[in-house]
Homo-oligomer: A and B are copies of this chain.
Amino acid sequence: MLSNYFEDLNVGDRWVSRARTITETDIVMFAAFSGDWYQLHTDREWAARTQFGQRIAHGLLVLSVASGFMDLSEGKVIAFYGLDHVRFTGPTFIGDTIHVELEVVEKKEKGPDRGLVKFRQEIKNQHGKVVAVADLLMLMQRKPQS
């Protein structure tokens, strides 16, 4: 989907990604990388006493994994412009398997060579439950004109 030029994307286009299981390893690696060792993610005893009853994945871990489902290698994305309305709507536990569903919801020309595309992203687990939503804003190439 992100291999397309601005012109070839239409409001309403949808795309579903592969999935990845979120493991204890992912949580430890993300805590390590980010430096966020909040006990809700990394202390089994502490997490057991919260409303979740166990450790949960960091919100930004979930967003980061989701970003990797999208293959940008064809190079039509000029830049990641921003995110709007990110909401963490449910926990991701160790062993849950998440995937992404994207929909084009808005397009705006930004000059002769580029346009801004808004994708609504839903991140769902293996039960179909939405664990996070976000609007992704991507600056994409327009088709070269001959």
A25 to chain B: which residues have CB within 8 Å?
23-25, 28-29
A108 shortest CB reach to chain B, Å: 15
- The prevalent SS among residues of A at the interface is mixed
| Residue tally, chain A, CB below 8 Å to B | 56
Q: A15 near B: Cβ within 8 Å?
A: no
Contact A43 B21 (CB under 8 A): yes
A59 shortest CB reach to chain B, Å: 5
Q: A101 near B: Cβ within 8 Å?
A: no
Contact A81 B72 (CB under 8 A): no
Known pairs A20-B35, A21-B43, A59-B80 / 5 extra A-B pairs, C-beta < 8 Å: A20-B37, A39-B75, A43-B97, A64-B64, A83-B83
Q: Which residues of A are at the interface with B, using a C-beta cutoff of 8 A?
A: 18-21, 23-26, 28-30, 32-40, 42-46, 55, 58-61, 63-65, 67-73, 75, 77, 79-88, 95, 97, 126, 134
